[in-house]
Chain A
Amino acid sequence: MTDIALRGVDGLKVDYLALVRRRRMYSGLLLVLFVALLAGGFGLADSRNAGGFWGGLTQIFDFPVELMREAIDKGAALPANLWRYLPAMIETINIAAVSTLLGAVLAVFLSLLSTRGLARWPRLMPLFRRVMDTMRAIPEIVIALVLIFVLGGGPVPAMIAIAFHTAGALGKLFSEVNENADLKPIEGLSSVGASWFQRIWLGVLPQVMPNYLSYALLRFEINVRASAILGFVGAGGIGAELRVAISWGTGRYDAAAAIFLLLFLTIVAIDQLSSHVRNRLVGGH
C-alpha cells in the first residue's frame, strides 16, 4: 500500500517540510562552521606571523614600489634586458613544456586506470589512486633538490621533478573529467566487441579531450612558474637569472623587472593560446 493511501497528501506535506527543516538546519550549521574556520585560521596565521600581519600590511608595497621606481629610472635599458633574458626564458618554457607533456601522458593513463567504469583492472584502482596521491604529495622542489644532488645541476632534474608532480596533479583532475564522461557511448562500443583500448580511444577521449587540454594548458602555466622557481636552486633557466637579479642588492632591479615582464607575457600568451585551442576543440567544426 502506498504512502498516499495510508496518510494522504497532508501527511506527505508534513514529512517533506520536516525534511526541509532538517536540511536548512544542516546548511546553517555548515555556514557557522565555515565562518568559524575562516576566523580561526586567520587568527592563527596572524599570531604566528613574525612581524604581525597588521604591522606588516603598510610595508607590503615597499618592495614592488622600489622595484618599479628603479625599473622606470632605467626604462631605456628595458628592451636590451628583455632581449638578454629571452634565451633563459625560452629554456624555462622548454622545461615546462616537456615536463607538462610527459606528465600529462602519464596522467591520462593513471586517471583512466583509476576511474570507476573505465578502469582496465578495477581491482587495482586503489593502487593507481595512491600512486597519484604520492606523486602529488611530494613538492617539485624536494624531488629537484634530490635529483640535483644525484645528477648535478641543469634542466634534466627539473624536468623529471616537474613531470612527476604534474602526473599526480593532472591525473587527479583528469579522473574527475572521466567521472563525468557519458558511459552510454562506451556501452555502445562494448556492444560491437571493442577492446578496452578501442573503447577508451574512440569512446572516452573524444568526450574528455577538450577538458584534458584546458587542464593541461593550465598546468603548463603553473609549470612555467615552477620551472622558474627551480632555477633558484640550480636548475637553470630564467629562475637562475632572477635569483641573481633580485639578490644582488641594489642596482639590478631593472633586470628583475624585465624578467617579471617576460614571465607575465609568457603567461598571457599561454592563456590566449589555451582559450583559442579550447574554442576550436569545443566548436568542433
Chain B
Amino acid sequence: MLKILKVTRRFGKKIAVDGVDIEIGDGQMVGIIGRSGAGKSTLLRMINRLIDPTEGAISYADREVSALRGAALRAWQRDCAMIFQQFNLVPRLDVVSNVLHGVLNRRSTLSTVFSLYPTEDIHTAIDILDRLGIADHAAKRVEALSGGQQQRVAIARALMQDPKVILADEPIASLDPMNAQIVMDTLRRIHDEDGRMIVCNLHTLDTARRYCDRVVGMRDGAIVFDGVPDELTTSVARQIYGAGESFSEASTSTSIEVLEPIREPVREPAYAV
C-alpha cells in the first residue's frame, strides 16, 4: 500500500502539488490525468524521491519513504521504477547495457563501472527484452531505435529492477498512436501478469479510461477527482481540464479507432480575433 499523506511541494512561491492525500493499494493500475502544469510529474517525482516534498509524507508498506536517506533511499528507488516521457536512456550505449542499468543498485559500484555484469543478469535482460518483443535489437545502440522501441527499452530497464511499484510519467506523450498503444498494452500486461502497482500520468482521457482501474484527476496541484473510469463523465472531465463547453474528448484522443466523429467543429478563436 502506497500512502501519500497531505503532500505539498512548492517551487519558490509556486505551489506545484497542493495537499495531495491518496492511498493506492498493491496491484492497482492508476491513471493520473490533468492538464499540463497540474502537478502530475511533480507528484511522481516525489514518490520516486527525485525531489523531496515540502510538507507531508509518503509511505510504502508502513515505511516512511519520504524520510529515507543514503543507501536506504537508493534501495527504495530500486523498488520503485520510473518511466519517463523522454525515455531517459543513455543513447550511446547498447540496448542490453541500458536494461542492465536496472540492477545497478544490487551490484557493486566497481563491477558495474567496468560493465562486469554476471552472465545471469545478461540472460535476464535479454529474456525481458524478448518478453517485450524487442530482443532482436539487443546489441544495437539505443539512439538507433524508434521512440516506441526506446520506451520499451525503458520499460525493460524498469522490469530489470524487479520493482514493487512502476511509475510512468506520460510514457506515450512523445509516441505516435500505434506505438502508444503498444507501450500501454505492455504496461497493462505487466500489471496483469506480474501484479505490480502501476501509477501512470496520462494527458489523454481515453487512454486513462481504457487502461486504468482507477483514475485520479488533478488540477492546479490538488486532486479534484478520484474514481473508476465510468464515473468520468464529460462534465467531470471539463472540470478537471478547466475547459469550456467546446471541450470534446475526441479532439484530444490519441487512439487509433476514433471514439466518435467530431460533430461540432472545435474552433479556437485565437487567430480569428
Contact = CB atoms under 8 A, between A and B. Distances in A.
A84 interface: no
B99 to A, nearest CB: 11
Contacts, number: 33
A13 B123 CA distance: 6
Interface residues of B, number: 14
Interface residues of A, number: 14
A4 B122 contact: no
B265 to A, nearest CB: 28
A9 B126 contact: yes
Contacts of A24: 115-116
Contacts of A4: 130, 135-136
A17 B122 contact: yes
Given A9-B126, A9-B127, A9-B130, A17 B119 contact: yes
A27 B114 CA distance: 9
A20 B122 contact: yes
Given A4-B130, A16-B96, A16-B122, A23 B139 contact: no
Contact of B136 (A2, A13, A17): A2
A265 to B, nearest CB: 37
A62 interface: no
A261 interface: no
Contacts of B123: 13
A4 B138 CA distance: 11
Interface in A110-157: none
A14 to B, nearest CB: 10
Interface in B81-135: 96, 114-116, 119, 122-123, 126-127, 130, 135
Contacts of A23: 115
B102 to A, nearest CB: 16
The 8 A-B pairs with the shortest beta carbon distances in the complex, nearest first, are: A9-B130, A2-B136, A13-B126, A3-B136, A16-B138, A4-B136, A12-B135, A12-B138
